[in-house]
């Protein structure tokens, strides 16, 4: 019979955790509620009717831990192209590894470092379904006003005893599109998912995601709901592979950032220190970057008057960043030992941007974060130093920093040192299974990413979503990943469905071992451990792993295997520790 979630999680809930003994439930699963299934996953059947085929395995599959030596062995056996694609994209699609191997990895890296040379017109056409993406701030305020509260609907009256029953729809109706600023948020989230899923400029999208997290803005705060779309377009996407100083200045003048960190209300005599603190601690120098509390005070004074004009009730006027000289503290300031003379006006803040962008602590801090994102939770110091040196040599050229990382030996040998965060997991699964999602059904993906624990643009504090293994790999997280994978592979949500039968039959496979190896290769692009592979073969083919699940001609020998067990097999591979690594 198909594997239950509990049987799977007994051995596979945490990457690198010790394998559980058969039939035992480890401590970390205490209190696990198996029956809690989100609405969008309705219909998931954990206990399908067992087949009469006597070869079906009924015992739990136990995933064994993967020691470092085994990780090194797996990395050595994998294609360097596959390893690179798993790291610098949201996951390869079928055929991507072969295509890049043919063109050469260095050429592919060059191509991705210059996204302007890549034709992404098909994606651009798809995104036309989201009109808010291209609107100015004043147009967003005008076209998406906050809706007025609606009165609660009156309960349905009790029908008369002989009334004709009203027929119920066989499928739930499509959820109504959110109105007002919530529609802006929904369109930005869905467009972000579709860009990661279908964009050919994959490294660019990875960098947009990185900088969005680095300059984190909580989209639910006050007027940020209208402003974040402009920040995404004019700050993150415009400067993702440019000069860091330009990105930093654009962020400092972003209405969304000014709103989120309260600088729009920072005035002479009462400077708000929120942005001043975070621009040094989180955006540039780092917590140990050498600044003091007087530096925070003086940076806050330098940015007084950097504010937002909204014109919500006069949309024909301009809206966005503005410098208000009457709010600005124009007296002399000292920041990190550099004197800023009185009378500078708006240039005081611009001078602070230059001081921070050119500081050696900023070079090291950014290099460390980039290496952590693309190489290892424990960034190799030698690589950090080389990336920091590239920053200082090129005046903060992000493209050059990424070139150093992607061509480094540390990058090429770093398998097993990063795991997929929920956003990466969701998109990589959809890409690996070649799932087709149209813009009208992209709302389903918003529900999925929320259930996985990383709703886009909704981390409330300025530090952004964590970028280390321990924050994401836990019992609930793995259970949700298993639910997602299994639901995609069963008759599932409207517009989002993966096909396992077609690729399996088209590959002309003969045995259970062939089918297991085909899906391991297609999904993780490197070998599994011998023990895990053997258990998958036993699960699919029963006690006789040579039993053919399909004939040479491509027609199913046993329909229950293709219908029930093959989707579960693919879900197991996607939920395995091997797939969580990136």
Q: Give me the chain's average pLDDT, please.
A: 83
pLDDT at 151 over 90: no
Q: Is 500 helix (H, G, I), strand (E, B) or coil?
A: coil
pLDDT classification of 57: cutoffs 50, 70, 90: very low
- Between CA 223 and CA 227 the distance in angstroms is 7
Last residue of a domain, one of 245, 273, 304: 245
pLDDT at 435 over 60: yes
User: Which tokens go with 524?
Assistant: 């993780």
Q: 210 with 220: CB under 8 angstroms?
A: no
What pLDDT digit, counting tens, does each position of 455-502 carry? 999 999 999 999 998 899 888 888 999 989 988 887 654 557 788 888
Say if residue 335 is in the same domain as residue 376. no
**pLDDT at position 271, please?**
98
Spell out the residues 6+ positions from residue 292 whose beta carbon is closer than 8 angstroms to its own.
Answer: none
Total domains, the chain: 4
What pLDDT digit, counting tens, does each position of 257-270 carry? 999 999 999 999 99
- Between CA 477 and CA 475 the distance in angstroms is 5
100 found inside a domain: no
What pLDDT digit, counting tens, does each position of 288-318 carry? 999 999 999 999 999 999 999 876 666 555 6
pLDDT at 371 over 60: yes
pLDDT at 4 over 70: no
Compute the average pLDDT of residues 184-193: 97
pTM of this prediction?
Answer: 0.84
Residue with tokens 């803040």: 349
Q: Which of 124, 197, 230, 146 is nearest to 457 (CA)?
A: 230
pLDDT classification of 327: cutoffs 50, 70, 90: very high
Compute the average pLDDT of residues 316-327: 85
Segments forming the whole domain that contains residue 49: 5-78+419-461+475-580
Last residue of a domain, one of 221, 245, 269: 245
Say if residue 455 is in the same domain as residue 549. yes
Say if residue 206 is in the same domain as residue 131. yes
- Between CA 582 and CA 580 the distance in angstroms is 7
Q: 511 with 545: CB under 8 angstroms?
A: yes
Report in angstroms the alpha-carbon separations of 389 from 371, 393, 396. Answer: 13, 6, 10
Report in angstroms the alpha-carbon separations of 497 from 307, 430, 479. Answer: 46, 9, 20
pLDDT at 45 over 60: no
Say if residue 554 is in the same domain as residue 444. yes
306 found inside a domain: yes
Compute the average pLDDT of residues 202-214: 98
Position with higher pLDDT, 548 vs 29: 548
Position with higher pLDDT, 113 vs 63: 113
**pLDDT at position 33, please?**
30
**pLDDT at position 552, please?**
37
Q: Which of 286, 283, 213, 237 is nearest to 467 (CA)?
A: 213
Say if residue 383 is in the same domain as residue 337. no
Say if residue 200 is in the same domain as residue 233. yes
pLDDT at 364 over 80: yes
**pLDDT at position 64, please?**
44
pLDDT at 44 over 60: no
Say if residue 374 is in the same domain as residue 501. no
**pLDDT at position 113, please?**
98
Q: 241 with 204: CB under 8 angstroms?
A: yes
Phi, psi dihedrals of residue 310, rounded to the nearest 5°: -95, -45
72 found inside a domain: yes
Say if residue 11 is in the same domain as residue 70. yes
Spell out the residues 6+ positions from residue 220 whose beta carbon is closer than 8 angstroms to its own.
Answer: 185, 458, 460
User: Which tokens go with 578?
Assistant: 């091997």
pLDDT at 545 over 80: no
Spell out the residues 6+ positions from residue 65 whose beta carbon is closer than 8 angstroms to its own.
Answer: 16, 17, 18, 19, 577
pLDDT classification of 70: cutoffs 50, 70, 90: low
pLDDT at 382 over 80: yes
Phi, psi dihedrals of residue 244, rounded to the nearest 5°: -65, -35
What pLDDT digit, counting tens, does each position of 384-410 carry? 999 999 999 999 999 999 999 999 999
**pLDDT at position 79, please?**
82
Compute the average pLDDT of residues 167-181: 61
pLDDT at 369 over 80: yes
């Amino acid at each position: 019979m198909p594997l239950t979630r509990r049987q799977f999680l007994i051995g596979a809930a945490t990457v690198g955790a010790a394998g559980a003994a058969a039939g035992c439930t480890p401590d970390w699963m205490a209190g696990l509620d198996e029956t809690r299934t989100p609405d969008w996953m309705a219909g998931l059947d954990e206990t399908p009717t067992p087949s009469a085929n006597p070869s079906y395995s009924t015992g739990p599959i136990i995933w064994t831990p993967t020691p470092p030596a085994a990780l090194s062995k797996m990395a050595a056996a994998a294609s360097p192209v596959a390893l690179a694609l798993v790291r610098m994209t949201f996951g390869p699609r079928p055929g991507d590894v072969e295509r890049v191997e043919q063109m050469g990895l260095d050429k592919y890296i060059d191509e991705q470092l210059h996204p302007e040379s890549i034709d992404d017109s098909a994606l651009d056409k798809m995104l036309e379904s989201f009109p808010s993406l291209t609107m100015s701030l004043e147009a967003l305020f005008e076209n998406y006003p906050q809706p007025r509260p609606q009165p609660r609907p009156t309960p349905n009256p009790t029908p008369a005893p002989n009334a004709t029953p009203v027929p119920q729809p066989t499928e739930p109706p499509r959820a109504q599109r959110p109105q007002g600023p919530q529609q802006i948020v929904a369109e930005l989230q869905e467009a972000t998912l579709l860009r990661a899923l279908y964009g050919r400029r994959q490294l660019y999208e990875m960098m947009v995601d990185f900088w969005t997290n680095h300059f984190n803005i909580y989209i639910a705060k006050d007027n940020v709901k209208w402003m974040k779309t402009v920040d995404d377009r004019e700050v993150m996407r415009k400067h993702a592979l440019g000069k860091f100083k330009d990105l930093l200045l654009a962020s400092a003048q972003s209405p969304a950032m000014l709103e989120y960190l309260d600088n729009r209300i920072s005035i002479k005599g009462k400077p708000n220190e929120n942005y001043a603190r975070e621009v040094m601690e989180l955006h540039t120098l780092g917590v140990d970057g050498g600044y003091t509390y007087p530096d925070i005070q003086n940076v806050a004074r330098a940015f007084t008057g950097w504010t937002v004009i909204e014109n919500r009730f006069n949309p024909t006027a301009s809206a966005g960043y503005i410098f208000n000289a009457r709010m600005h503290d124009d007296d002399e300031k000292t920041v990190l030992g550099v004197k800023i003379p009185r009378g500078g006006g708006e240039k005081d803040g611009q001078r602070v941007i230059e001081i921070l962008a050119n500081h050696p602590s900023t070079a090291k801090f950014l290099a460390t974060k980039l290496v952590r994102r693309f190489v290892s939770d424990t960034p190799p110091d030698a690589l950090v130093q080389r990336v920091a040196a590239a920053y200082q040599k090129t005046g903060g050229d992000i493209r050059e920093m990424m070139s150093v990382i992607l061509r480094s030996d540390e990058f090429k040998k770093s398998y097993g040192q990063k795991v997929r965060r929920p956003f990466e997991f969701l998109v990589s699964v959809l890409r690996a299974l070649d799932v087709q999602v149209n813009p009208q059904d992209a709302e389903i993906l918003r529900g999925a990413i929320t259930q996985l624990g990383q709703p886009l643009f909704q981390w409330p504090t300025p530090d952004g979503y964590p970028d280390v293994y321990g924050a994401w790999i836990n019992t609930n997280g793995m259970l949700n990943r298993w639910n997602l994978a299994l639901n995609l592979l069963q008759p599932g949500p409207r517009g989002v469905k993966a096909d396992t039968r077609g690729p399996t039959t088209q590959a002309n496979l003969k045995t259970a071992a062939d089918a297991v190896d085909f899906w391991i290769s297609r999904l993780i692009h490197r070998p599994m451990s011998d023990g895990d592979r053997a258990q998958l073969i036993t699960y699919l083919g029963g006690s006789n792993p040579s039993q053919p699940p399909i004939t040479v001609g491509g027609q199913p020998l046993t329909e229950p295997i293709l219908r029930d067990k093959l989707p579960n097999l693919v879900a197991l591979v996607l939920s395995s520790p091997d797939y969580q690594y990136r």
